[in-house]
Structure 1
Amino acid sequence: MSTKPTKEQVEALFGKVEEKFSQTTLGKDRWYLIAIPTLIVFVPEHGATLYTYLINKPEYSTSELRQALIRRIREALLECISIQGVCKPLETLLGISQIEREEDKDYSFSRERWNVGPETYQRGKDWLNTIYKHNQISTDDAFAAHKDITFVNYQITYGFYLSDMTILGPIETELVTLSGIMIQNIARLTGWHLRGIRRVGVSKEDVELVQQCIELIAKFGNIKLENIPRVDDIEHEV
């Protein structure tokens, strides 16, 4: 949009995305995992609007339920740091923290005991092997002369951020990852994660609907997604 969207316009967008996502078989409580990594790219301040939109629903009518919700939102934003950088996820969470009621705040610390080391590397490797399978060999080969990138990929991007399934599971993590990459109009990695989300069990039909949800948000933000593959384009690789 040429000007900053209003709260009402963003809420209307949420309704459209929610309705589109309801056509999938992925359940009604995951659509916002697409909205988070896409919306924060152009209007991170409206993360607070998303939070308010969600907690006004009957399924989040108690503090305990709202605490569970913010854990999932926080984890999605943490994963976004690994694929989009730190500033916009932080801006989003700061906005939410300003409107949270004290009784709804969650003080748990999911990665309190995390350390760089063999276990972290193995978690990263296991998750990479899940979504990349045999393709991981060629990816590692591409970075053979850039070992710092390989270290970050295994130990940090995947070992720290994306392989922790204590709050968001494999499908949810791939929803965040795919959405966060596609909204940046990165064709190659979008293809890799269209393939990856298929490999964790999401049907081809549901992946197409997920992409349509991302495109709804991109269009709203005047973000052009050019030369981005579709699930049919990568299906032969799955």
Structure 2
Amino acid sequence: MSSSPQSSMSPLIATPAFLTTLTALFPANSTLPNPALWVAGIVFAAHSLPSEVAEVYTHAVNSTTCAEEKKNTTRVFREALFKTGNLYGAPRMINSLLEVRKTMDVVGVPDEAGYRDHDMPVEKLNEAGVKMFNHTYGEGAADTRELLRGVHPDFDYFMMSLIYGPINAFLGVIDAAQTSIAMIAALIAIEAPLQVGWHEAGAIRNGASKEDVEAVKQIAEKCLMRIKEAKGEKMKS
């Protein structure tokens, strides 16, 4: 017998009260817009909980006061999930964004045309990817790229031309600091502490404060803990 991926997770875990608690964890004096809800969306998406993602998105949209704010909230929410799908898995990203797309019709937010230049030559994508990667990794960029080449001979090229170039380096919806924050959320969700450390430093290089980063980690960890509690699992130490 088939069952929904969330059949064992009922009742809802992304409750309004829980989401309000998450929102309060991000520093009110930060220069960044509060990312708590899309951070939560990333964690739920990473754990194949698309209905929970839709609940988070609905809460985010319902927290706005006008049509333009709803559109912007939707852009940012979708972009955050899109930018991190290569970390937690494209099928999970697709399933979550499909639920968000359905919910957009319910809450009255129209779809939009693509944001990126779909005709950009691969050389330009590679150039943009290298620039973004170098800025994110700073003095460690060369060593990290060498590590990527050691993983697989094509992996460095793949990361620069197919991930960092067309996906991460596009800053028209969320900026570099927000992009790094999104990466941290996804990496916490899949429990990859080594890479979390890399992107903590990258987030600060890209404009986030240490307080911003610590708050995002706390938000993502609380979401992960809530998911594990609902599944009867334990957090990794």
Q: TM-score range by the shorter chain?
A: 0.7 to 0.9
- What is the Cα deviation at residue 85 of structure 1? 1.6
Give per-residue Cα distances to partners, 1:157-193, cap 9 Å, x unaligned: 2011111001111111111111111211112111101
Corresponding residue number in structure 2 for 1:201 = 207
2:155 aligned residue (149, 152, 162): 149
Structure 1 residues 101, 136: CA separation in 2 closer, same or farther (over 3 Å shift)? Answer: same
Aligned ranges 1:7-18 → 2 under 5 Å: 7=12, 9-18=14-23
Name the CA distance, whole Å, in 1 between partners of 2:65 and 2:43: 26
Name the CA distance, whole Å, in 2 between partners of 1:39 and 1:200: 25
2:100 aligned residue (91, 96, 99): 96
SS in 2 for 1:40: helix
Name the CA distance, whole Å, in 2 between partners of 1:13 and 1:165: 30
Structure 1 residues 205, 76: CA separation in 2 closer, same or farther (over 3 Å shift)? Answer: closer
Aligned ranges 1:82-161 → 2 under 5 Å: 82-101=86-105, 103-145=108-150, 146-161=152-167
Structure 1 residues 65, 158: CA separation in 2 closer, same or farther (over 3 Å shift)? Answer: same
1:20 aligned residue (25, 29, 36): 25
Using the size of structure 2 for normalisation, the TM-score is: 0.85
Give per-residue Cα distances to partners, 1:125-167, cap 9 Å, x unaligned: 1110111012111122223352311111101120111110011
Pairwise CA RMSD: 2.4
Name the CA distance, whole Å, in 2 between partners of 1:108 and 1:117: 22
- Listed as ranges, the gaps of 5+ residues in structure 1 are 228-238
- Listed as ranges, the gaps of 5+ residues in structure 2 are 1-5
Amino acid at match of 1:31: A
8 Å Cα contact 1:198-1:204 kept in structure 2: yes
8 Å Cα contact 1:13-1:217 kept in structure 2: no
Amino acid at match of 2:81: L
1:66 aligned residue (63, 70, 77): 70
Using the size of structure 1 for normalisation, the TM-score is: 0.85
Corresponding residue number in structure 1 for 2:197 = 191
Aligned-pair identity (%) = 20
8 Å Cα contact 2:137-2:198 kept in structure 1: yes
Corresponding residue number in structure 2 for 1:218 = 224
Corresponding residue number in structure 2 for 1:45 = 51
1:177 aligned residue (154, 164, 183): 183
Deviates more, 1:112-121 or 1:24-33: 24-33
Deviates more, 1:214-223 or 1:25-34: 25-34
Deviates more, 1:92-101 or 1:175-184: 92-101
